[in-house]
Amino acid sequence: MKFSKRNKIQILFKTLSIFILFVSIKGGVMPADQFNKLNKEEKRVIIEKGTEAPFSGDLLNEKREGTFTCRQCGAALYYSASKFESHCGWPSFDDEIKGAVLRIPDADGRRTEIVCSNCKAHLGHVFLGEKFTEKDTRHCVNSISMDFIPEKLELEEKAVFAGGCFWGVEYYMQQINGVKSVVSGYTGGKSEAPTYEDVSYKNTGHYEAVEITYDPALVNFETLAKTFFEIHDPTQKNGQGPDIGKQYRSAVFYQDEEQKIITQKLINQLKDKGYKIATKILAPAAFYRAEEYHQDYYDNRGKLPYCHGYVKRF
């Protein structure tokens, strides 16, 4: 396929907006053009990978309950529950918030450097096998690379699935531990703020879908996606169950590259088992909340879904 210059610019914009979307859902994280300005000493450590003098940092003796965040981008890195006293002179943690810290071989060829996985700010080094705590891991972090917020920041991520009538998908997805909320709505089409009538009777291209907000510390996208594939029939092409129409087709609207890769992996697994999967993997699109009477439809009526049910497929 050949891309015109305009197409290339559009693709660049789309990639950029997906990245910003990804970053913005990771808690209090800021996009690259809004990173905190660093002073000279912060730059020396965070950008030039320097080390602050031992026993000099202002977070070394921070013992309150809370969250340690990246000085440069605001991403949550460590909870106070993982901080311990190592007497080495720098704040020490035996675990990071899932996905918050990247480990890379240090330029010195011996140690393992740790950086903020969002903005790549230098944090310090990680050491294993010192037997300080049960996790046998010490993240040795420069105070100057972090800020402290005296509260436990709740992390949230989003996932969007279309699997036929949204009442049924919502009913099952909201029962998963770690799911904070499920909203029924419309996505993937052309018109802005569509109504149920628009989606049902006009050719808007929208799907009935659910937007799930979940705590990544309690449940991961793979579990949500597997459940999605097991509570609807992902082989039906023209709709779902008795609901026939384009708005009832099966799709996963991935919110970041990781979700896209996991969805493709699960579809491949199902294909290997002989399923002819109709589910489309689609780029994230604006999500429009449906009318209030569509929210929590089955719970509010004390009924069970007519179009969805659990079938083990993995």
| C-beta of 42 vs 233, nearer to Zn ion | 42
The distance of closest approach from Cβ of residue 41 to Zn ion in the complex, given in angstroms and rounded to an integer, is: 17
CB 150 within 8 A of CB 65: yes
| C-beta of 119 vs 141, nearer to Zn ion | 119
Strands 67-70 and 146-149: antiparallel
Q: Which residues pair with 288 in a beta bridge?
A: 186
| C-beta of 146 vs 225, nearer to Zn ion | 146
| C-beta of 10 vs 34, nearer to Zn ion | 34
Catalytic residue among 70, 119, 165, 307, which?
A: 165
List C-alpha distances in Å: 279 to 286, 288, 291.
19, 21, 25
The distance of closest approach from Cβ of residue 36 to Zn ion in the complex, given in angstroms and rounded to an integer, is: 9
d(CA 106, CA 113): 5
CA angle centred on 31, ends 25 and 33, rounded to 5°: 170
Q: Which residues pair with 122 in a beta bridge?
A: 115
- Site residues for Zn ion per CB under 5 A: 70, 72-73, 75, 116, 118-119, 121
307 is known as an active-site residue: no
| C-beta of 119 vs 160, nearer to Zn ion | 119
The distance of closest approach from Cβ of residue 12 to Zn ion in the complex, given in angstroms and rounded to an integer, is: 23
The distance of closest approach from Cβ of residue 24 to Zn ion in the complex, given in angstroms and rounded to an integer, is: 14
The distance of closest approach from Cβ of residue 141 to Zn ion in the complex, given in angstroms and rounded to an integer, is: 12
d(CA 221, CA 157): 9
Name which of 117, 139, 135 is nearest 126 in CA terms.
Answer: 139
- Collapsing DSSP states into helix, strand and coil, what is residue 120? coil
| Class of residue 308 by CB neighbours under 10 A (exposed 0-12, middle 13-18, buried 19+) | buried
165 is known as an active-site residue: yes
Q: Annotated active-site positions, please? A: 140, 165
